[in-house]
């Protein structure tokens, strides 16, 4: 039978089908070629991931060393216990295994049983990570089926709470959560390894399957600028201060002004980073970089530097303190109720006189004032490489009024962080260069080789070296003759500034008249500053609350030991210091003596003499007889009037400022004058003035008041 010929139409259909099949095979071939050549590695990785279940193995974090190479944070290997649920279920010992583990690890047995049964097709489930050596030994002794251990690095802080707020801490997965650990996490953490177990096509573990182990790479280590010994000194003083004054919080920050290197940073409250979860989270904060406050009179150093640099004022310019400066919107008062009267700029610095600095701030004007606010870095981060640094708060320049400028001049209105303030002070004292605060000086690899050295960084020059020198000389007189006498350090030239700022009342606004932030900021030695230090105390309790009374002695004790540790040579011969500054003498009674005899007696006691009056016989003296004072001090001798005036029976009014009512009454017994006392506290004013000759029996009005904070602004508009 003859086959029917294929029609042309059918042939065309067959041809189309052949073309389509060929194109399909060609496309498939191209696809396979593209996958093999260009996507092969990716799909191989995906296949491997699908085939293997992996458990990350944390790398050992790098060590954190102090400046002298002493370890402050290390990583040690510890056991983490895990179970292989497949083996435990297969052995039919879920209850037994869970019971033993729960008892040793202090866990809930029922919860552990549920977790094993829920993951019965898996080969790896953590029971508890980073257990103690005793717990690991107890579990190993039982030889429980399906129970094994994985070594993991655990962060340990061998010095406990030392530098805790600075260092921070790490979490269970070895990642930095706060402080330096968080800021340098990428450097310290290294590269994690892997433990991999082969799975079947259903994603379940295969008994006795292939395992892969990819080792981790240890992190790099840090060498800090902080010195462990200096840190111990600072924390010792913080502990003593907390016991004495019970503040809400306090801290001491110390730097090298020429490099910006932080040498120590101690604060309260603190915590032990080995057990950070045992503490309230507020204890974790490093408030020296993260909290802002109105600094009060320590900020006057910034105003002084800008004014001297711009020629707005000179050290010898004279100002008048009438007790207050009235401005549109409010009044800024002096901290002392008795007006300082006429005084030079230098005396205004020594007295921390508010009206003097208000006048200078207003004379600077808004543009110049903000030039130095910005120049010294206020209102922006310093760049210190610690997590959580705040920027501070500035009154916007566009809306700043005269009253704002006045209150800013005495350290109110603007809020700064302690690290900002000390960084600015470093620039003021180091010749004018604003330095970036530095906390790390070297980065080393896991073998201890230096891979990076971090050099000091100059941000910009703010003031000239000559202005810096003038400020330092002025600040030295604050310690020698002004409000900062409590910070004097035997054998060293010290300059500094006290500060006592009223706290803002939370939720209400305005300033508290009983809660203060006391501070002292200083440099030593002033002729070649090696260190600058800030002591700040938030709300000291008790009778003392001023920066000079509370923080000056802390500065003195800490900086004295730091200078000694750094082997900074003394600048005064020890025998002279001892003779002039340490030996006490009891003041003789010079009244009735001739001036020459009194001068001779005073000289024999190592005292200098100032004579008031033109007579030749001593009629009165200050301090009074039997007063104890240090050698090198000065005695004021008042002489009788010429014989032609003796019939007037006059007497010199004694100096009473700063004395208590009891002390005034004791002095009254020595003078034939009528003292009229009003108020409570200490003597803030007297009339007539000290040294004025008045008739015997004259009335002397004495006003006593509780002193305001040194940086207090009195009446203010708004919060």
Positions of E strands within 540-645: 584-586, 608-612, 618-622, 628-630, 634-639
As a whole number of angstroms, the distance between CA 355 and CA 320 comes to: 8
> Long-range contacts of range 240-243, CB-CB < 8 Å, 24 or more positions apart?
240/554, 240/557, 241/537, 241/550, 241/554, 242/268
- Is residue 57 within a helix (H) or strand (E), and if so which, with residue range? strand 52-57
Euclidean distance between CA atoms 286 and 178, whole angstroms = 9
Strand partners, 416: 293
Residue 311, Ramachandran bin (φ over 0: left; ψ between -120 and 50: alpha; else beta):
left
Distances from the Cα of 170 to the Cαs of 72, 149, 173, 322, in angstroms? 14, 22, 8, 57
Residue 247 CA from chain centroid, whole number:
15
Residue 27, both tokens: 């496309």
Q: Which of 634, 606, 631, 632 is nearest to 622 (CA)?
A: 634
Question: What does the alpha-carbon distance between residue 450 and residue 223 come to, in Å, rounded to a whole number?
Answer: 10
Residue 603 to residue 312: CA distance in whole angstroms:
43
Contact 325, 355 (CB under 8 A): yes
User: Is 519 among the residues known to form the active site?
Assistant: no
Closest CA to 268 of 246, 292, 290: 246
- Give the torsion through C-alpha atoms of 458, 462, 466, 468, to 10 deg: -80
Catalytic residue among 178, 297, 468, 713: 297
User: Cα separation of 713 and 327, whole Å?
Assistant: 12
**Residues that are catalytic:** 297
């Amino acid at each position: 039978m003859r086959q029917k010929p294929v029609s042309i139409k059918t042939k065309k259909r067959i041809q189309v089908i052949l073309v389509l099949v060929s194109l399909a095979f060609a496309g498939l071939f191209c696809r396979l070629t593209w996958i093999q050549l260009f996507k092969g590695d990716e799909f191989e990785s995906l296949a491997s991931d699908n085939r293997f279940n992996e458990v990350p193995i944390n790398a050992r974090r790098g060590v954190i060393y102090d400046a002298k190479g002493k370890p402050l944070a290390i990583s040690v290997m510890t056991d983490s216990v895990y179970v292989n649920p497949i083996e435990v279920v297969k052995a039919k010992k879920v209850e037994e295994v869970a019971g033993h583990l729960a008892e040793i690890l202090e866990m809930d047995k029922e919860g552990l049983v549920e977790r094993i049964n829920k993951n019965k097709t898996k080969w790896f489930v953590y029971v508890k990570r980073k257990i103690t050596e005793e717990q690991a030994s107890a579990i190993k002794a039982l030889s429980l089926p399906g129970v094994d251990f994985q070594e993991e690095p655990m962060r340990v802080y061998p010095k406990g709470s030392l530098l805790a707020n600075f260092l921070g801490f790490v979490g269970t997965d070895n990642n930095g959560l706060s402080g330096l650990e968080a800021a340098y996490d990428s450097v310290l953490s290294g590269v994690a390894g892997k433990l991999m177990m082969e799975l079947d096509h259903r994603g379940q573990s295969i008994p006795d399957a292939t395992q892969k182990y990819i080792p981790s790479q240890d992190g790099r280590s840090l060498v800090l600028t902080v010195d462990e010994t200096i840190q111990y000194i600072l924390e010792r003083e913080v502990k003593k201060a907390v016991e004495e004054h019970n503040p809400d919080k306090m801290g001491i920050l110390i730097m090298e002004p020429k490099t910006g290197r932080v040498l120590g940073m101690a604060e309260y409250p603190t915590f032990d980073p080995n057990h950070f979860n045992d503490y309230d989270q507020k204890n974790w904060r490093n408030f020296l970089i993260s909290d802002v406050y109105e600094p009060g009179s320590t900020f006057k150093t910034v105003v002084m530097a800008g004014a001297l640099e711009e020629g707005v004022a000179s050290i010898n310019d004279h100002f008048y303190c009438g007790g207050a400066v009235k401005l549109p919107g409010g009044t800024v008062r002096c901290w002392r109720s008795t007006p300082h009267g006429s005084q030079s700029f230098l005396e205004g610095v020594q007295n921390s006189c508010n009206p003097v600095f208000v006048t200078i701030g207003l004379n600077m004007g808004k543009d110049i004032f903000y030039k130095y606010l910005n120049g010294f870095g206020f209102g922006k981060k310093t760049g210190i490489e610690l997590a959580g640094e705040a920027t501070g708060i500035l009154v916007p320049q566009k809306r700043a009024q005269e009253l704002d400028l006045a209150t800013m001049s005495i350290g109110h209105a603007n809020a700064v962080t302690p690290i900002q303030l000390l960084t600015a002070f470093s620039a003021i004292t180091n010749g004018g260069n604003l330095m970036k605060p530095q906390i790390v000086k070297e980065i080393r690899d896991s073998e201890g080789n230096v891979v990076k050295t971090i050099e000091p960084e100059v941000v910009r020059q703010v003031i000239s070296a000559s202005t810096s020198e003038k400020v330092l000389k002025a600040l030295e007189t604050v310690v020698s003759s002004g409000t900062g006498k409590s910070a004097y350090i035997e054998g060293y030239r010290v300059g500094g500034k006290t500060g006592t700022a009223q706290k803002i009342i939370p939720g209400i606004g305005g300033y508290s008249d009983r809660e203060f932030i006391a501070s002292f900021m200083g440099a030593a030695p002033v002729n070649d500053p090696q260190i600058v230090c800030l002591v700040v105390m938030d709300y000291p309790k008790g009778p003392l609350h001023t920066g000079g009374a509370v923080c000056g002695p802390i500065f003195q004790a800490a900086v004295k030991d730091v200078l000694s540790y750094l082997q900074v040579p003394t600048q005064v011969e020890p025998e002279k210091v001892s003779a002039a500054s340490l030996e006490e003498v009891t003041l003789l009674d010079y009244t009735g003596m001739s001036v020459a005899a009194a001068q001779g007696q005073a000289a024999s006691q190592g005292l200098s003499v100032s004579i008031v009056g033109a007579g030749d016989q001593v009629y009165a003296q200050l301090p009074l007889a039997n007063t104890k004072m240090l050698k090198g001090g000065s005695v004021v001798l008042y002489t009788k009037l010429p014989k032609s005036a003796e019939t007037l029976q006059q007497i010199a009014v004694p100096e009473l400022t700063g004395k208590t009512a009891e002390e005034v009454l004791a002095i009254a017994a020595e003078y034939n004058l009528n003292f009229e006392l009003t108020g409570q506290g200490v003597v803030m004013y007297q009339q007539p003035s000290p040294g004025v000759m008045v008739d015997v029996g004259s009335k002397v009005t004495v006003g006593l008041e509780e002193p305001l904070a040194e940086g207090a602004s009195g009446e203010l508009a708004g919060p």
